[in-house]
Amino acid sequence: MTAALKRTARAVLGARPVQSLLSAAAHRGDPVTVLCYHTLSADDGGPDAWTALRVSDFRSHLAILRESYNIVSLDEVFAAGPGRPSGGRPRAVLTFDDGEAGLHRHLLPLLTAERVPVLVYIATAQIETGRPYWFDRVMGALGEGAREVALPHLGHWSLTAAPGAARWVVLGDLLETLKRMHPIDREELADRIAADNPPPPGRPPLGPMTAEELAELAANPWVTIGAHSDCHNLLDQLPEDEAVASMDRSRRLLRDWTGQEVAHFAWPNGNHSAALRKAAARMGFRTAAALDNRLWRRGADLYALPRLAIGRYDDAARFRLRLVGV
Ligand SMILES: [Zn+2]
Protein backbone atom coordinates (compact mmCIF):
# COMPACT_ATOMS: atom_id res chain seq x y z
CA MET A 1 0.00 0.00 0.00
CA THR A 2 1.33 3.46 -0.84
CA ALA A 3 1.84 6.02 1.92
CA ALA A 4 -1.06 8.13 0.57
CA LEU A 5 -3.40 5.13 0.54
CA LYS A 6 -2.34 4.20 4.05
CA ARG A 7 -3.07 7.75 5.24
CA THR A 8 -6.52 7.65 3.62
CA ALA A 9 -7.27 4.23 5.15
CA ARG A 10 -6.22 5.53 8.58
CA ALA A 11 -8.38 8.62 8.22
CA VAL A 12 -11.43 6.50 7.32
CA LEU A 13 -10.77 3.95 10.08
CA GLY A 14 -10.10 6.73 12.59
CA ALA A 15 -13.48 8.45 12.02
CA ARG A 16 -15.66 8.23 15.13
CA PRO A 17 -18.61 6.22 13.66
CA VAL A 18 -16.20 3.69 12.12
CA GLN A 19 -14.29 3.50 15.42
CA SER A 20 -17.52 2.76 17.32
CA LEU A 21 -18.40 -0.08 14.93
CA LEU A 22 -14.88 -1.52 15.10
CA SER A 23 -14.88 -1.20 18.88
CA ALA A 24 -18.25 -2.97 19.21
CA ALA A 25 -16.96 -5.80 17.01
CA ALA A 26 -13.65 -6.08 18.89
CA HIS A 27 -15.37 -6.18 22.29
CA ARG A 28 -18.00 -8.78 21.48
CA GLY A 29 -17.73 -11.46 24.17
CA ASP A 30 -16.17 -9.00 26.64
CA PRO A 31 -12.50 -9.76 26.12
CA VAL A 32 -9.75 -8.16 28.23
CA THR A 33 -7.21 -5.92 26.49
CA VAL A 34 -3.73 -6.64 27.84
CA LEU A 35 -1.15 -4.13 26.60
CA CYS A 36 2.57 -4.89 26.45
CA TYR A 37 4.87 -1.89 26.76
CA HIS A 38 8.61 -1.93 27.45
CA THR A 39 9.85 1.39 28.76
CA LEU A 40 9.29 5.16 28.71
CA SER A 41 11.64 7.90 27.56
CA ALA A 42 11.77 11.69 27.80
CA ASP A 43 9.76 13.48 25.13
CA ASP A 44 12.82 15.06 23.54
CA GLY A 45 15.90 13.07 22.68
CA GLY A 46 16.52 9.54 23.90
CA PRO A 47 17.14 6.56 21.65
CA ASP A 48 14.85 6.21 18.64
CA ALA A 49 13.87 2.68 19.67
CA TRP A 50 10.44 1.06 19.36
CA THR A 51 10.62 -0.08 23.00
CA ALA A 52 11.04 3.48 24.38
CA LEU A 53 7.64 5.23 24.34
CA ARG A 54 7.61 8.99 24.96
CA VAL A 55 6.05 9.95 28.30
CA SER A 56 3.57 12.30 26.57
CA ASP A 57 2.40 9.49 24.27
CA PHE A 58 1.93 7.22 27.28
CA ARG A 59 -0.19 9.92 28.95
CA SER A 60 -2.28 10.16 25.75
CA HIS A 61 -2.74 6.39 25.80
CA LEU A 62 -3.99 6.58 29.38
CA ALA A 63 -6.45 9.36 28.48
CA ILE A 64 -7.76 7.34 25.50
CA LEU A 65 -8.15 4.22 27.64
CA ARG A 66 -10.01 6.13 30.32
CA GLU A 67 -12.63 7.25 27.78
CA SER A 68 -13.98 3.70 27.48
CA TYR A 69 -12.03 1.21 29.61
CA ASN A 70 -11.48 0.41 33.25
CA ILE A 71 -7.72 0.01 33.76
CA VAL A 72 -7.35 -2.86 36.22
CA SER A 73 -4.65 -5.16 37.57
CA LEU A 74 -4.11 -8.64 36.17
CA ASP A 75 -4.94 -10.07 39.60
CA GLU A 76 -8.32 -8.34 39.49
CA VAL A 77 -9.09 -9.87 36.09
CA PHE A 78 -7.72 -13.21 37.26
CA ALA A 79 -10.11 -13.19 40.22
CA ALA A 80 -13.16 -12.35 38.08
CA GLY A 81 -12.14 -14.01 34.79
CA PRO A 82 -12.63 -12.61 31.27
CA GLY A 83 -16.19 -12.12 30.06
CA ARG A 84 -17.44 -10.36 33.19
CA PRO A 85 -16.58 -6.68 32.93
CA SER A 86 -16.78 -4.67 36.12
CA GLY A 87 -19.00 -1.61 35.87
CA GLY A 88 -20.08 -2.52 32.35
CA ARG A 89 -16.92 -1.19 30.69
CA PRO A 90 -14.27 -3.32 28.98
CA ARG A 91 -11.13 -3.86 31.00
CA ALA A 92 -7.52 -3.09 30.08
CA VAL A 93 -4.37 -4.32 31.83
CA LEU A 94 -1.04 -2.46 31.44
CA THR A 95 2.16 -4.50 31.44
CA PHE A 96 5.81 -3.51 30.94
CA ASP A 97 8.51 -6.00 29.95
CA ASP A 98 12.21 -6.30 30.82
CA GLY A 99 13.05 -3.77 33.59
CA GLU A 100 14.68 -0.90 31.69
CA ALA A 101 15.79 2.14 33.74
CA GLY A 102 13.15 4.43 32.16
CA LEU A 103 10.55 2.61 34.25
CA HIS A 104 12.09 4.03 37.41
CA ARG A 105 12.87 7.42 35.87
CA HIS A 106 9.63 8.08 34.00
CA LEU A 107 6.90 5.55 34.91
CA LEU A 108 7.28 5.52 38.69
CA PRO A 109 6.83 9.31 39.14
CA LEU A 110 3.53 9.34 37.26
CA LEU A 111 1.92 6.19 38.70
CA THR A 112 0.55 7.65 41.91
CA ALA A 113 -0.83 10.77 40.21
CA GLU A 114 -2.38 8.74 37.39
CA ARG A 115 -3.62 6.00 39.76
CA VAL A 116 -3.10 3.18 37.27
CA PRO A 117 -2.08 -0.35 38.19
CA VAL A 118 0.82 -1.78 36.17
CA LEU A 119 2.43 -5.20 36.00
CA VAL A 120 6.18 -5.03 35.37
CA TYR A 121 7.86 -8.24 34.20
CA ILE A 122 11.55 -8.22 35.11
CA ALA A 123 14.34 -10.17 33.39
CA THR A 124 16.88 -10.47 36.15
CA ALA A 125 20.41 -11.07 34.77
CA GLN A 126 20.69 -7.48 33.57
CA ILE A 127 19.67 -6.16 37.01
CA GLU A 128 22.16 -8.43 38.78
CA THR A 129 25.09 -7.61 36.49
CA GLY A 130 24.18 -4.06 35.43
CA ARG A 131 24.96 -5.05 31.83
CA PRO A 132 22.16 -4.33 29.31
CA TYR A 133 20.89 -7.27 27.27
CA TRP A 134 22.17 -7.49 23.67
CA PHE A 135 19.09 -5.78 22.19
CA ASP A 136 19.38 -2.74 24.46
CA ARG A 137 23.12 -2.50 23.69
CA VAL A 138 22.37 -2.55 19.95
CA MET A 139 19.38 -0.16 20.13
CA GLY A 140 21.34 2.15 22.42
CA ALA A 141 24.31 2.19 20.05
CA LEU A 142 22.22 2.74 16.92
CA GLY A 143 19.48 4.89 18.41
CA GLU A 144 20.56 8.16 16.82
CA GLY A 145 22.01 9.50 13.58
CA ALA A 146 22.95 7.98 10.24
CA ARG A 147 24.60 4.58 10.78
CA GLU A 148 25.90 1.81 8.58
CA VAL A 149 26.06 -1.74 9.92
CA ALA A 150 27.73 -4.42 7.81
CA LEU A 151 27.85 -7.93 9.26
CA PRO A 152 29.80 -10.54 7.25
CA HIS A 153 27.48 -13.20 5.71
CA LEU A 154 24.43 -11.61 7.35
CA GLY A 155 23.78 -8.34 5.57
CA HIS A 156 24.09 -4.61 5.50
CA TRP A 157 21.76 -2.11 7.18
CA SER A 158 21.63 1.64 6.45
CA LEU A 159 19.98 3.77 9.13
CA THR A 160 18.96 7.28 8.13
CA ALA A 161 19.61 10.30 10.31
CA ALA A 162 15.86 11.09 10.42
CA PRO A 163 14.25 9.35 13.40
CA GLY A 164 10.88 7.61 13.14
CA ALA A 165 9.01 4.49 12.14
CA ALA A 166 10.78 4.12 8.76
CA ARG A 167 14.18 4.09 10.49
CA TRP A 168 12.84 1.51 12.93
CA VAL A 169 11.90 -0.86 10.09
CA VAL A 170 15.62 -1.14 9.25
CA LEU A 171 16.79 -1.37 12.86
CA GLY A 172 14.01 -3.88 13.65
CA ASP A 173 15.16 -6.04 10.74
CA LEU A 174 18.73 -6.06 12.11
CA LEU A 175 17.41 -7.05 15.56
CA GLU A 176 15.33 -9.88 14.04
CA THR A 177 18.44 -11.17 12.25
CA LEU A 178 20.42 -11.11 15.51
CA LYS A 179 17.56 -12.67 17.46
CA ARG A 180 17.72 -15.81 15.30
CA MET A 181 21.42 -16.39 16.01
CA HIS A 182 23.05 -18.59 18.62
CA PRO A 183 23.30 -16.57 21.88
CA ILE A 184 27.12 -16.73 21.99
CA ASP A 185 27.54 -15.41 18.41
CA ARG A 186 24.87 -12.79 19.05
CA GLU A 187 26.65 -11.47 22.15
CA GLU A 188 29.83 -11.08 20.13
CA LEU A 189 28.11 -9.20 17.29
CA ALA A 190 26.20 -6.95 19.70
CA ASP A 191 29.50 -6.05 21.36
CA ARG A 192 31.07 -5.34 17.98
CA ILE A 193 28.15 -3.07 16.96
CA ALA A 194 28.36 -1.23 20.29
CA ALA A 195 32.16 -0.82 19.94
CA ASP A 196 31.77 0.56 16.38
CA ASN A 197 29.06 3.00 17.52
CA PRO A 198 30.07 4.03 21.03
CA PRO A 199 27.29 5.70 23.04
CA PRO A 200 28.04 8.91 24.97
CA PRO A 201 29.82 8.42 28.32
CA GLY A 202 27.72 7.76 31.42
CA ARG A 203 24.75 5.50 31.90
CA PRO A 204 23.91 3.70 28.61
CA PRO A 205 20.95 5.08 26.58
CA LEU A 206 19.03 1.85 27.24
CA GLY A 207 19.89 -0.32 30.21
CA PRO A 208 18.52 -1.95 33.35
CA MET A 209 17.34 -0.44 36.59
CA THR A 210 19.61 -1.05 39.56
CA ALA A 211 18.36 -3.47 42.24
CA GLU A 212 17.69 -0.44 44.48
CA GLU A 213 15.60 1.25 41.77
CA LEU A 214 13.70 -1.97 41.23
CA ALA A 215 12.98 -2.26 44.97
CA GLU A 216 11.66 1.32 44.93
CA LEU A 217 9.43 0.59 41.93
CA ALA A 218 8.18 -2.63 43.53
CA ALA A 219 7.29 -0.78 46.75
CA ASN A 220 4.82 1.47 44.91
CA PRO A 221 1.27 0.22 45.64
CA TRP A 222 0.28 0.54 41.95
CA VAL A 223 3.02 -1.87 40.84
CA THR A 224 2.97 -5.66 40.67
CA ILE A 225 6.27 -7.36 39.82
CA GLY A 226 6.27 -10.39 37.52
CA ALA A 227 9.13 -12.58 36.29
CA HIS A 228 10.49 -12.59 32.71
CA SER A 229 13.32 -15.19 32.99
CA ASP A 230 16.92 -14.58 33.99
CA CYS A 231 18.63 -14.87 30.59
CA HIS A 232 15.96 -13.34 28.32
CA ASN A 233 16.82 -15.82 25.57
CA LEU A 234 14.05 -17.40 23.49
CA LEU A 235 13.07 -20.07 26.01
CA ASP A 236 11.53 -22.49 23.48
CA GLN A 237 14.93 -22.72 21.78
CA LEU A 238 16.85 -23.72 24.92
CA PRO A 239 17.05 -27.19 26.47
CA GLU A 240 13.96 -27.44 28.66
CA ASP A 241 15.87 -27.78 31.95
CA GLU A 242 17.89 -24.66 31.13
CA ALA A 243 14.74 -22.68 30.30
CA VAL A 244 13.01 -23.79 33.51
CA ALA A 245 16.12 -22.93 35.57
CA SER A 246 16.11 -19.42 34.05
CA MET A 247 12.41 -18.95 34.87
CA ASP A 248 12.94 -20.19 38.42
CA ARG A 249 16.05 -18.08 39.02
CA SER A 250 14.29 -14.87 37.96
CA ARG A 251 11.48 -15.57 40.37
CA ARG A 252 13.81 -16.35 43.29
CA LEU A 253 15.90 -13.24 42.71
CA LEU A 254 12.80 -11.04 42.44
CA ARG A 255 11.41 -12.45 45.68
CA ASP A 256 14.73 -11.67 47.40
CA TRP A 257 14.99 -8.14 45.99
CA THR A 258 11.37 -7.09 46.54
CA GLY A 259 10.24 -9.25 49.46
CA GLN A 260 7.08 -9.97 47.44
CA GLU A 261 5.48 -13.10 46.03
CA VAL A 262 5.93 -13.31 42.22
CA ALA A 263 2.81 -14.87 40.70
CA HIS A 264 2.97 -13.89 37.03
CA PHE A 265 5.42 -14.63 34.23
CA ALA A 266 5.94 -13.29 30.70
CA TRP A 267 7.70 -15.25 27.95
CA PRO A 268 10.71 -13.36 26.49
CA ASN A 269 9.74 -12.32 22.95
CA GLY A 270 6.47 -14.21 23.51
CA ASN A 271 8.15 -17.58 22.76
CA HIS A 272 6.78 -20.60 24.62
CA SER A 273 6.02 -24.30 24.12
CA ALA A 274 3.55 -26.82 25.51
CA ALA A 275 6.24 -28.24 27.82
CA LEU A 276 7.18 -24.78 29.12
CA ARG A 277 3.55 -23.77 29.69
CA LYS A 278 3.16 -26.93 31.81
CA ALA A 279 6.36 -26.08 33.66
CA ALA A 280 5.08 -22.57 34.44
CA ALA A 281 1.90 -24.04 35.90
CA ARG A 282 3.90 -26.62 37.89
CA MET A 283 6.13 -23.87 39.29
CA GLY A 284 3.04 -22.17 40.67
CA PHE A 285 2.80 -19.14 38.35
CA ARG A 286 -0.84 -18.11 38.03
CA THR A 287 -0.40 -16.80 34.47
CA ALA A 288 2.24 -16.54 31.76
CA ALA A 289 1.86 -13.81 29.15
CA ALA A 290 2.67 -14.13 25.46
CA LEU A 291 2.31 -11.49 22.72
CA ASP A 292 0.13 -12.40 19.68
CA ASN A 293 -1.54 -8.98 19.18
CA ARG A 294 -4.95 -10.36 20.16
CA LEU A 295 -7.39 -9.66 22.98
CA TRP A 296 -7.74 -12.10 25.89
CA ARG A 297 -10.98 -13.97 25.34
CA ARG A 298 -12.80 -16.48 27.50
CA GLY A 299 -11.19 -19.93 27.34
CA ALA A 300 -7.69 -18.65 26.48
CA ASP A 301 -4.73 -20.58 27.89
CA LEU A 302 -3.70 -18.78 31.10
CA TYR A 303 -0.10 -19.70 30.28
CA ALA A 304 -0.19 -18.03 26.85
CA LEU A 305 -2.13 -14.86 27.63
CA PRO A 306 -2.33 -12.77 24.48
CA ARG A 307 -1.17 -9.14 24.61
CA LEU A 308 -1.04 -6.22 22.20
CA ALA A 309 2.54 -4.96 21.83
CA ILE A 310 2.61 -1.15 21.85
CA GLY A 311 5.68 0.96 21.07
CA ARG A 312 7.16 4.35 20.31
CA TYR A 313 5.52 4.73 16.90
CA ASP A 314 2.00 4.15 18.26
CA ASP A 315 0.97 7.78 18.69
CA ALA A 316 -2.56 8.63 19.86
CA ALA A 317 -4.19 8.07 16.42
CA ARG A 318 -2.38 4.81 15.82
CA PHE A 319 -3.08 3.65 19.39
CA ARG A 320 -6.86 4.07 18.90
CA LEU A 321 -6.65 1.80 15.87
CA ARG A 322 -4.51 -0.80 17.64
CA LEU A 323 -7.12 -1.06 20.41
CA VAL A 324 -9.79 -2.11 17.92
CA GLY A 325 -7.55 -4.59 16.14
CA VAL A 326 -6.47 -2.54 13.09
ZN1 LIG B 1 11.38 -8.97 27.09
- Is pLDDT larger for residue 4 or for residue 324? 324
pLDDT bracket for residue 86 (50, 70, 90): low
pLDDT digits (tens, 9 = 90+) for 155-189: 999 999 999 999 999 999 999 999 999 999 999 99
94 pLDDT more than 90: yes
Q: Ligand 1 centre and the CA of 200: distance in Å?
A: 25
**pLDDT of amino acid 322:** 92
pLDDT bracket for residue 88 (50, 70, 90): confident
pLDDT bracket for residue 87 (50, 70, 90): low
Q: Ligand 1 centre and the CA of 4: distance in Å?
A: 34
1 pLDDT more than 60: no
Q: Ligand 1 centre and the CA of 12: distance in Å?
A: 34
**pLDDT of amino acid 55:** 96
For the chain, what percent of residues have pLDDT higher than 90? 78
Q: Ligand 1 centre and the CA of 129: distance in Å?
A: 17
pLDDT digits (tens, 9 = 90+) for 104-134: 999 999 998 999 999 999 999 999 999 999 9
Does domain 30-131+209-323 match CATH 3.30.300.10?
no
**pLDDT of amino acid 15:** 72
12 pLDDT more than 90: no
**pLDDT of amino acid 135:** 96
Q: Where in the chain is the domain with CATH 3.20.20.370?
A: 30-131+209-323
318 pLDDT more than 90: yes
Q: Ligand 1 centre and the CA of 63: distance in Å?
A: 26
14 pLDDT more than 80: no
Q: Ligand 1 centre and the CA of 98: distance in Å?
A: 5
The reported pTM is 0.93
**pLDDT of amino acid 30:** 83
Q: Ligand 1 centre and the CA of 250: distance in Å?
A: 13
Q: Ligand 1 centre and the CA of 232: distance in Å?
A: 6
**pLDDT of amino acid 325:** 78
**pLDDT of amino acid 130:** 95
**pLDDT of amino acid 73:** 96
pLDDT (mean) for 248-268: 97
Q: Ligand 1 centre and the CA of 133: distance in Å?
A: 10
Q: Ligand 1 centre and the CA of 123: distance in Å?
A: 7
- Distance in angstroms (rounded) separating the CA atoms of residues 228 and 244: 12
pLDDT digits (tens, 9 = 90+) for 211-239: 999 999 999 999 999 999 999 999 999 99
Q: Ligand 1 centre and the CA of 27: distance in Å?
A: 27
**pLDDT of amino acid 50:** 96
pLDDT digits (tens, 9 = 90+) for 279-299: 999 999 999 999 989 999 988
